[in-house]
Amino acid sequence: MVRFAFLRFSVAGLLATAAIGAEPIDRQALVTRHNPKLEKIDPWAPLSVGNGEFCFTADVTGLQTLYPHYQKNGIPLETAARWSWHQNANPQNFQLQDANRPFTAYGKTIGYPTNQNSPAGKWLRENPHAMPLPQLALDLAREGGGRLGPEDITNVQQTLDLWSGTLRSEFQLEGAPVRTTVACDPVRDALAIRVESPLVAGGRLGVRIALPRGHDIKVKNNPALDWSAPESHTTQIVAQNDRTVLFEHVRDDSRYIGSVLGATALTARWNGEHEIRLSVAAGAVLEFAVAFVPGGAPKVPETKAILAASAEAWPKLWQSGGAIDFAGSTDPRAKELERRVVLSQYLTVIQFAGDFPPQESGLTNSTWYGKHHTEMIWWHAAHFALWGRDAFLMRNLDGYVTALPLARRIATGRELRGARWPKMIGPDWRESPGGNPLIVWNQPHPIHLAELLYRNNPTPELLARYRELVLDTAECMASMLNWDEARKCYNLGPPLWIAQEIYDQAASMNPCYELSYWSRGLQIAQQWRERLGMGRHEEWDKMIAAIAPLPQKDGKYVALESHPDTWDNVASRHDHPSFLMAFGQLPGDGVDRAVMGRTLDAVLKSWDWETKIWGWDYPMIAMTAARLGEAKKAVDVLLKSDGPNNSYTGNGHNRQREDLPVYLPGNGALLAAVAMMAGGWDGAPTMDAPGFPKDGTWKVRSEGLRPLP
């Protein structure tokens, strides 16, 4: 299996260059001044190391020693790989059509799997689900036994060195000093772990490798690790010598192999049915590497090799692509924005750069059973192209190419042409029941993302790579439009579920944002046809010219034509104000600038900012403000502090509610918005950082950013 490699950071064309005559940004100084540092236990700020498809999240001990405290009070501590999944038995052989409900429109009745509460819907929604890898924790042999707790850890000094990807922790345990060092291998799912302390001598302080059954999937979001039913899974040591331990974990059809390589002789003993305790008989240092693979025996580098590889790879990352420096700004919020930008880059790189698209909590914890929501792929990964790190976006988009045959089958089953993208998916790309199958704003994303890549690298090779993805996706979009003879226009829906997920799916028609996205997606696809020497598609041109107008009422845009109550009904002013995306994320097909300006002001004045608005909404709204030339409004909403879900914890995570302590679409949206505000967009004013105020309070230096279309 091909693993993600940090070496791809230095692919030709990604290296950033400063403006001619400008002093280059001191990237090491920029990055390291935001190294997360902790001096006390903070369950909302565990720190992670990873390589894009594998991630390890640790408490202040550098390991996962205080898991119960963090799980209960903040962000949980897990070891995760995007390839690790489990599926419960399906004795009733549930199929997706077993969760169907009929929807009738335009003389056709088609079943969509929206019945998530039926037995079939429940099983299909919960399976497959993410399977956590082992927990690695400090284990102290002491009188009376018992696991270490927060009260045992004192004098904390912990730093995540972003420049080398190394987590260093110092603290005291029973009055004795303990120092740990942890790093992730750039090309393997492997960790280097070093524990130094007088307590290590004689094996008193060791490391416990505990293998959970999985997650408690009775909980959809942020489930705890499941330690129940030990008889339902097996752990065994399959090979061992004085420096190595090879162990296997099996639960039903899910299996992974772990391999430990000590820097010196190790003592490994069973510490329970699913626990292995590592220690050393002599000396004050316990040092080992541990690697995981879904099958076969993993190749485990020496710890020093992992540490060296990490220290080499991360500077290459930070020296490639874009950078933004706010030093010298007098706006008191500038330092915090710079911190969010630096940490969001780190978090998305270590968790979003895999060949199977991410879940919304990345590889930190499990949400929606670990499944990917395809409508969020733009917020997950578009920023990679804007920051000149195309390889990461390509990894995600290549997953869509692989899934084209399934997307084509979905289209056929719904009497559509081309490839129709499912919404909530596991590794098999099988749809999950719920309102999900009726969401449509996921459909144009692959086209828009492929275009971002082409703008950065306009080559025949890239056109060939995503040709079928773009054209089949567009063909399906065209077949989803319906001609309205009375109005002489093409309608979108019903049925559909708009991005603002509060309206009746059976009756929804012509949502503002989605109409604009349909026009943009088909226009991009026409450009691809011309680049490929195919000529324009006559039917698509007719649709672009005659697509229904964006719905508005009383001089402002509304969410959708079929239920235009956005500004009449306060109950319709919560969730995503998605109509703003038509002139923010998108360049404004069908948009009247003055109408959009009034709409933005109405959102800022009267939207429900207290109960349900999401972390990615703030950057999304800022993008609309920037295009409208309202730079102050853009910054103010981007850094809005008097509403929910726009706070960023000490480790850089965008926190939502209690069951969503990690919400990485907020981080990705932040990076997209800031790249646009600093790097510009097509048609932006000719000036530096056109999306930031020009009142002297912001000093913005940027390099290597790509403008948004």
At 21 the pLDDT is 53
**Side-chain-facing half-sphere of 277: CA atoms under 13 Å:** 18
Contact (CB, 8 A) for 418 and 472: yes
Among candidate residues 324, 290, 265, the one with its CA nearest the CA of residue 34: 324
| Residue 10, amino acid | S
Q: Given the structure tokens 């025996």, which residue do they identify?
A: 297
Per-residue pLDDT band at 18 (split at 50, 70, 90): very low
For residue 170, count other CB atoms closer than 10 A to its CB.
18
pLDDT over 90, % of the chain: 93
- pLDDT band at residue 15 using 50, 70 and 90 as cut-offs: very low
**Counting every residue, how long is the chain?**
709
Per-residue pLDDT, 5: 46
- Please list, in sequence order, all residues whose beta carbon lies within 8 angstroms of the beta carbon of residue 186, skipping any fewer than 6 positions away: 5, 6, 7, 51, 309, 310, 313
Maximum Cα–Cα distance across the chain = 86
Does pLDDT of 8 surpass 50?
Answer: no
Residue 644 has pLDDT above 90, yes or no: no
Q: Kindly report, residue by residue over 492-547, the tens digit of the pLDDT.
A: 999 999 999 999 999 999 999 999 999 999 999 999 999 999 999 999 999 999 99
Can you state the percent helix, strand and coil of the chain, rounding each to 5? 35, 20, 45
User: Cα–Cα distances in Å, from 187 out to 2, 299, 403?
Assistant: 9, 11, 24
Residue range 687-700, pLDDT digits in tens: 999 999 999 999 99
pLDDT exceeds 90 at position 10: no
Tell me the backbone φ, ψ of residue 425, rounded to 5 degrees. -135, 150
DSSP letters for 42-67: -TT--EEEE-SSEEEEE-TTSSSTTH
Model confidence at 1: pLDDT above 50 = no
Q: Region 139-147: what's the mean pLDDT?
A: 91
- For residues 533, 536, 539, 541, the Cα torsion angle rounded to the nearest 10 degrees is 160
Residue pair 605/644 in contact (Cβ under 8 Å)? The answer is no
Residue-wise pLDDT tens digits, 150-201: 999 999 999 999 999 999 999 999 999 999 999 999 999 999 999 999 999 9
> How confident is the model over 386-423, as pLDDT tens digits?
999 999 999 999 999 999 999 999 999 999 999 999 99
CA nearest to 516, candidates 614, 465, 585? 585
Cβ atoms of 665 and 345 within 8 Å: the answer is: no
Give the Cβ contact number of residue 160 at 10 Å.
26
pLDDT in tens, 315-347: 999 999 999 999 999 999 999 999 999 999 999
Q: Give Cα separations from 463 to 321, 447, 468 (angstroms).
A: 22, 12, 9
Residue 16 has pLDDT above 70, yes or no: no
Give me the chain's average pLDDT, please. Answer: 95
Q: What would the CATH number be for the domain defined by 36-88+127-318? A: 2.70.98.50
Band of the pLDDT at 212, cuts 50, 70, 90?
A: very high
Residue 403 DSSP code: T
**Burial of 658 per CB tally in 10 Å (0-12, 13-18, 19+):** exposed
Burial level of 489, CB count in 10 A (0-12/13-18/19+)? Answer: middle
Look at 16-30, 398-412, 562-576 and tell me which has the smallest mean pLDDT. Answer: 16-30
Write out pLDDT tens, residues 117-126. Answer: 999 999 999 9
CA distances (Å), origin 570, targets 57, 333, 582:
41, 31, 22
Amino acid identity of residue 316, one-letter, is: K
Q: Work out the pLDDT band at 13, boundaries 50, 70, 90.
A: very low
How far is the C-alpha of 142 from the C-alpha of 139, rounded, in Å?
Answer: 9
Residues ≥6 apart with Cβ < 8 Å to 276? 208, 209, 235, 237, 245, 247, 268, 269, 270
Q: Report residue 14's pLDDT band, with 50, 70 and 90 as the boundaries.
A: very low
DSSP-assigned states of every residue in 405-450: HHHHHHHHHTT-SS-PPPSEE-TT--B-SSSGGGB-TTSSHHHHHH
Report the pLDDT value the prediction gives residue 671, as an integer from 0 to 100.
Answer: 98
Structure tokens at 266: 């190790």
Q: Which two tokens stand for residue 545?
A: 């010219």
What pLDDT, on the 0 to 100 scale, is given for residue 6? Answer: 43
Element (H, E) at 179: strand 176-184
The count of other CB atoms within 10 Å of the CB of residue 548 is 22
Amino acid 472: pLDDT: 98
Q: What is the pTM of this model?
A: 0.97
Domain range annotation of the chain: 36-88+127-318
**How does 399-416 read in b/e, with b if 16+ C-beta sit within 10 Å?**
bbeebbebbbebbeebeb
The percent of residues above 70 in pLDDT, for the chain, comes to 97
Nearest to 434 by CA among 369, 494, 357, 377: 369
Residue 377 has pLDDT above 70, yes or no: yes
